Structure 1
Amino acid sequence: MNASRTRAPRLPLVALVCSVALLSGCSDSGSSGRKEMSTTQAAQAAVPAAAGDLQSAYQKVIKDVLPSVVQIQASGDLGSGVVYDDKGHIVTNAHVVGNEKTFKVTTANNENELTATLVYSYPEQDLAVIKLDKVPDGLRPAAFGDSAKVQVGQIVLAMGSPLGLSSSVTQGIVSATGRTVSESGSGGGTGATIPNMVQTSAAINPGNSGGALVNLDGQVIGIPTLAAVDPTFGDSAAPGIGFAIPASMVKTVADQIIENGKVTDSGRAALGITGRTVVDDSFQPAGVAVVEVKNGGAADKAGIEAGDVITQLGDTSITTITSLSEALAADRPGQKTSVTFTRAGSAKTVKVTLGEQ
């Protein structure tokens, strides 16, 4: 098991190096030399001051938010969760809860195990809500931020229970926003294609799933969900590339589950088909064969039939079921687009009004 240490970025180093250069070229006497010495001393003093300010900011965020991050045990699997409200609702990943209905929960400030029950799991977005059977005193809900304000370069902390090490914190930045990522259907993933994910360099390890990605204002901006894998190295984790479901989607899904006991408005576009990837004569992915068409769905209304092979959605070429899912993730229910497919060797293009997943 590898452990990593967080370290404050040494941003003022440039100022320090410049000041040293000035000192080496200054005269031996006079007010100019004294001024340059003063500049050097000020720069040197700024280095620990800046590091101390950042360290204090980290510690404040951890103190404020870590009590809202819990460890969830489902059978033999461990994951993390975030306290959503003062009624004991906890939001986590669907792949953390799996097929379980009851869970053991440990909070950051209480070693006693609590019990919780599943409210609803929504694998299509890899989110779920569980509820504590008894709400302990002092349970602290997390504050969720505005996903629209998340910017590349922001410093973030990932909090959770990686490899079962509860209340762990790692540090990084927001590396990118708006990523569409498809989970593996094996290895514990739900196979979901999730749009608008936040990419981060903060370490995301097994057990971090369902925890909190937090900005320096102490707001949860995402739920860490998966780390990228490198297929050239046997699908091992690619260091420094993790993904979190944005807070806006977390709130949308969690609010519906808490209010209605299920997701009533997913906001996710769908064709209304069951499909599979097909290959060409060179055994290369060549499209998505329609296996089944949902009665009354978008594809059905557009005249798409079982046996058709979809090769394009709008302007996007479709070669695999994953590429179709990713293309749909960028669209909205009710949006009009075109679908190109082949039927009995002939290509056809039809207009489709997308439905909802």
Structure 2
Amino acid sequence: MDASQFRRRVYRLLLPLTAGVCAMALVSGCTDSDPARADATKSASPQQRPTSAGDLQSEYQAVIKNVLPTVVQIEAANSIGSGVVYDDKGHIVTNAHVVGREKTFKVTVATGEKVLGASLVATYPQQDLAVIKLDNVPSGLKAATFGDSEKVEVGQIVLAMGSPLGLSSSVTQGIVSAVGRTVSESPAGGGTGATIANMVQTSAAINPGNSGGALVNLNSEVIGIPTLAATDPQMNGAAPGIGFAIPVSMVKTVADQIIKSGKVTDSGRAALNIIGRTVVDDSYQPVGVALVGVTAGGGADKAGLRVGDIVTKIGDTRITTMTALAEALANDKPGQKVEVTYLRDGAENTTVVTLGEI
């Protein structure tokens, strides 16, 4: 499957489960019966780790014991999702589509079944991330350890932890199936419409309610936040074994800024600095992005683009929709120069745009 075919896939969000559908008791995670062995397993390098079935099971149990207490269930108005404890001050990172428009939440932590109150710190829909904070931090609250995106490789064993279908503290396992995926959420499916680059693709089973939870490696490190699952248009349902997680590098970048400043001050995301809409031809096929607004002093404005122009290419990449435009810019950086092909009064033109920032 080439890149253009992949981008045409349909995705659905791991939307928070409707509250009240599953009112389940907390499911406790597995533990290693030999703490010394669990500690030894955790500290062992990947090359030193045992490979027998029994030892692998012990290693899974050690990871679950280490990480599951940092994964929480979040109830927002009429929905249920997941979150990960970010620090010992009670900050919790989750998905923007989990918190929605709500400002207050009910959180269940693994240190006890008592429901705790939490408040929104800030949401950043452009990356589908948000941070909330517990109103009162319980004794013994444990923060997760976050890994390094540069060390995530295809074939690594991973565990997905969260509250699928309202079943809190659930764990599934799989592998990293691919890295570097660029995936766009569908606003029609309840998402923020974000286009997210460098997503981690995994075969670990993830379902509605897993949003905002943890994708974890065998070093007990969170390497991503599960957010999307693929759907098969022909079957009109989920495509088993194809899920996506926001890379931990972006999670840390966004969460650190929100905690420090109450907002994202440096997105690192490139933009043309325009407002656009998809346009279609006489056969109702999308053919480009019409500019309906151009930010004064922004990249497009300085390059001479104006309202009414229709962008058809970024470099050699064909642009037919707003989603295609977002995906074409997803891996670019502010300050980078790109060639833009556009139509004005039916004539094709090109210009070089120095990209701005979202």
For normalisation by structure 2, the TM-score amounts to 0.85
- Which runs of no fewer than 5 residues in structure 2 stay unpaired? 1-20, 22-49
1:191 aligned residue = 193
In 2, distance between residues paired with 1:225 and 1:176? 15
1:273 aligned residue = 274
Superposed CA deviations along residues 83-136 of structure 1, whole A, max 9, x for unmatched, are 000000000000000000000000123110000000000000000000000000
Partner SS for 2:68: helix
In structure 2, relative to structure 1, the CA distance for the partners of 1:152 and 1:49 (3 Å cut) is closer
After superposition, residues 95-244 of structure 1 pair within 5 angstroms as: 95-234=97-236, 236-244=237-245
Contact persistence 1:108–1:166 (CA under 8 A): no
2:62 aligned residue = 60
Amino acid at match of 1:265: D
2:335 aligned residue = 334
Compare relative contact order (CA 8 Å, sep 6+) and give the higher one, 1 or 2.
2
In 2, distance between residues paired with 1:184 and 1:279? 19
Partner SS for 2:234: helix
2:262 aligned residue = 261
Give the C-alpha shift of residue 49 in structure 1. Answer: 7.6
1:298 aligned residue = 299
Contact persistence 2:216–2:222 (CA under 8 A): yes
Contact persistence 2:82–2:209 (CA under 8 A): yes
Partner SS for 1:59: helix
Superposed CA deviations along residues 28-47 of structure 1, whole A, max 9, x for unmatched, are xxxxxxxxxxxxxxxxxxxx
2:33 aligned residue = none
In structure 2, relative to structure 1, the CA distance for the partners of 1:212 and 1:49 (3 Å cut) is closer
Superposed CA deviations along residues 15-74 of structure 1, whole A, max 9, x for unmatched, are xxxxxxxxxxxxxxxxxxxxxxxxxxxxxxxxx981001100100000000000000000
| Count of matched residue positions in the alignment of Structure 1 and Structure 2 | 310
- Verify: 1:349 aligned to 2:350, yes or no: yes
Partner SS for 1:80: strand
Amino acid at match of 1:339: V
Amino acid at match of 1:115: G
Runs of 4+ in structure 1 deviating by more than 6 angstroms, as ranges, are: none
In 2, distance between residues paired with 1:166 and 1:186? 27
Give the C-alpha shift of residue 231 in structure 1. Answer: 1.7
Superposed CA deviations along residues 190-242 of structure 1, whole A, max 9, x for unmatched, are 110000000000011110000000000000000000101112222x2111000
Partner SS for 1:347: strand
In 2, distance between residues paired with 1:79 and 1:49? 34
Larger Rg: 1
Partner SS for 2:300: helix
Partner SS for 2:123: strand
Contact persistence 2:111–2:141 (CA under 8 A): no
Percent of aligned pairs sharing the same letter = 75
Partner SS for 1:233: coil
For normalisation by structure 1, the TM-score amounts to 0.85
In 2, distance between residues paired with 1:239 and 1:153? 17
In 1, distance between residues paired with 2:297 and 2:91? 36
2:96 to 94, 97, 101: 94
Partner SS for 1:62: helix
Contact persistence 1:102–1:117 (CA under 8 A): yes
Partner SS for 2:189: coil
- Which runs of no fewer than 5 residues in structure 1 stay unpaired? 2-47
In 1, distance between residues paired with 2:132 and 2:250? 17
Give the C-alpha shift of residue 187 in structure 1. Answer: 2.3
Contact persistence 2:224–2:246 (CA under 8 A): yes
Contact persistence 1:71–1:166 (CA under 8 A): yes
Amino acid at match of 1:349: T
Give the C-alpha shift of residue 168 in structure 1. Answer: 0.2
Please give the root-mean-square deviation of Cα atoms over the aligned residues, in Å.
Answer: 1.2
Amino acid at match of 2:348: A
Partner SS for 2:113: strand
1:42 aligned residue = none
Contact persistence 2:230–2:243 (CA under 8 A): yes
1:83 aligned residue = 85
Contact persistence 2:111–2:140 (CA under 8 A): no
2:316 aligned residue = 315
2:284 aligned residue = 283
